Amino acid sequence: FSSSGVIGSGVCIFSRSCIIDTGSHAFSLNGYAHKIQHGDWFGGKVVGLCKVLHRGIRINLYVTHLHAEYNKLHDQYLAHRIAQSFEFSQFVQLTSETADLAIMAGDFNTEPEDLPYRIILNNTGSQDTFLMQPTISQDSKGSGATCGHPRNTYTTKQELFDAPQGIRIDYVFLKHGKGVKTECFSCETPLEKIPNGTVSYSDHEAVVVKLLVTKSAYFEEPAMNNSARFTVLEEAGHLLNASLVCLRKNRIFYFMLSCLLLSLLLLSTPFNLPYGLNAFMIFSRIVLSIGLGFCLWMCSVMNNIEQKALLGACNGIQVLLASLKEDRGIEFQESDQVSS
C-alpha cells in the first residue's frame, strides 16, 4: 500500500507470492490544488512497486493512477499526464533492470491512441496484454472497455453519449528480460455486478490477465524499437515545451492581475461612509485580499512547482533523445559501411 499527498494516492498491491522489497515514487506534477472539484492534487498520485519472487522468477509489480482526463476536447491536464507517463516509464526502466519480468497495471486515464499511452509502451519497451491475446482479431482491438461500459451501473448518460461502447484506459502492461518468455492467454473484464447486489464493483471494470511465464537461458531479451521511442519522446518534448510557453504567459497574467488587485485594495481605503456603504467596502476589501493572495500564490508558488516539474521532464527527454540520436548515428554509419 502506498500513501501520499493530502488524502493518499490509494494504490495497493496484493500478492500470494513472497514480497521481498517495496518502493514508490510520487509524481512531480499532480494537477492543481485550487481545482478542488477534481481532487487529483490532494490524492498525490504515485507509482508503487513490489518486488516478488515467484517460483524462482524475479517479478517487479507496478501499480499507478495517472491524472484524470476531465475534458478530452479541452484537456488542461495533458502536459501533466505526459510528464507523469514519462516519469512512470523512467521509473520502470531504472528499477526493472535486474528483474526477469515487469508487470505494470493501473488506471492510466489514457486511450491507446493517446500520447501518454505511447510513451509508456515505447519508453519501457513493454507490451499491452490486451493486444497479446491469441484470439483477438483486428476488428476487436477497439473493444475491452474498462470505463464507461454500458453494463456498469456507475456509467452516466453523458459517458454513453460520448462513447456508447465505453473506453479502454485501464491496462496491464508487461516487459520481460533476458531468459524469460511470456504468453498471454487472456485479458478480460469478467466482473459484472457484486454477487446478490444491484451495483457494479467500481465505475471501472477490473482487468484480469492470465499469463504463462517460462524461464530459459535460451530466450533473448526483446530489442526496443528505438525509432518509435525517438518519435514519441520528440512529440512529448514539443508538447511540454509548448506548455512551458503557456506557463510563462500565465505567470505574467497572474502578476499583472496581482498589481491590479493591489491597486484597488489601496484605493479602497475606508472613508466616513454611511453604514451600508461602509459594510460593502469592508466586504470588497476582503474579496480583493483573497483574490490578491490567490494570484500571488499562483504566480509564485504553483507556477514555479509546475514549471520545475515540466522542465525536469523536458530535460530527461532531451537526454534520452540525444542518446538515441547518437545510437542512430552509429547504426547509420555501420549500415553505410556494410552497403559499401
- What one-character-per-residue DSSP string does 178-217 give? TTEEEEEEEEE----BPTTSSSBS-SBPPPEEEEEEEE-T
Q: Residue-wise pLDDT tens for the chain (340 aa)? A: 656 777 776 788 999 999 999 999 999 999 998 888 888 888 888 999 999 999 989 999 999 999 999 988 889 999 999 999 999 999 999 999 989 999 999 999 999 999 999 999 999 999 999 999 887 644 444 578 999 999 999 999 998 998 999 999 999 999 988 889 999 999 999 888 899 888 999 999 999 999 999 988 888 888 888 999 999 999 999 999 999 999 999 999 999 999 999 999 888 776 666 666 777 888 888 999 999 999 999 999 999 999 999 999 999 999 999 999 887 664 544 444 433 3
Cell numbers that stand for 201 in this block: 464493483
Q: What is the pLDDT of residue 334?
A: 46
Other Cβ atoms less than 10 A from the Cβ of 204: the count is 19
For the chain, state the CA radius of gyration: 25
* pLDDT of the residue at 339: 38
Distance CA 32, CA 42 (A): 9
Q: How far apart are CA 82 and CA 87, in angstroms?
A: 9
DSSP 119-161: HHHHHHT-EEHHHH-TT--GGGTT----BS-TT-TT--HHHHH
Contact between 178 and 219 (Cβ < 8 Å): yes
Residue 204 bears catalytic tag: yes
User: Grid coordinates representing 218?
Assistant: 535460451
Other Cβ atoms within 10 Å of 74 Cβ, number: 7
Which residue's C-alpha cell is 480583493?
288
Contact indicator for 247, 310 with CB cutoff of 8 Å? yes
Give the full edge-to-edge strand order of the sheet including 170-176: 18-26, 46-54, 57-65, 101-107, 170-176, 127-128
Grid cell of 121 as nine digits: 509502451
DSSP 3-state of 182: strand
CA dihedral angle for residue 257, residue 259, residue 264, residue 269, rounded to 10 degrees: 150
Catalytic pick among 25, 80, 176, 204 = 204
Does residue 40 sit in helix, strand or coil? helix
User: In terms of residues, how long is the chain?
Assistant: 340
Tell me, what's the pLDDT at 332?
45
